[in-house]
Amino acid sequence: MIPLTPSVLQERTGCPREFLDVGNSDSLHTVVRLIDTLKVKGRYVALRHCWGQSQPYTTTRATRGRLMEGLSLHEAPATFLDAIKVPRLLGIRYLWIDSLCITRHNTRD
């Protein structure tokens, strides 16, 4: 079972720095984008998972720009696809996935 935790952004302090914008329940989007939370307020769903030895889907300074342009759902692993469906079904637009929303090797995150 995937541990999903609904949360609410009430204040800027202590909330994640970045989210994935998954669209809405009527969304036909086949792309999700990494966005800065300074630009949004609202509810979000979080996915924390075991990364294992291989980490093909992580955000680094080198990959951050590409994720802000959009990650094709055709490229995403099954765990991420399932996680993207949940907020859409709940009418929640934002998703936080640790490996994608925390920039590796960044002292700010």
Task: Count CB atoms within 10 A of the CB of residue 57.
Answer: 17
* Between residues 16 and 50, the one the model is more confident about: 16
From the list 55, 74, 68, the residue with the least C-alpha distance to 21 is 68
Give dist(CA 80, CA 92) in Å, integer.
Answer: 16
pLDDT category at 29 given cuts 50, 70, 90 is low
pTM of the model: 0.74
* Between residues 14 and 76, the one the model is more confident about: 76
Give dist(CA 97, CA 4) in Å, integer.
Answer: 10
* Between residues 70 and 7, the one the model is more confident about: 70
> Residue ranges per domain, the chain?
18-97
Mean pLDDT of the chain: 76
From the list 95, 25, 22, 20, the residue with the least C-alpha distance to 64 is 20
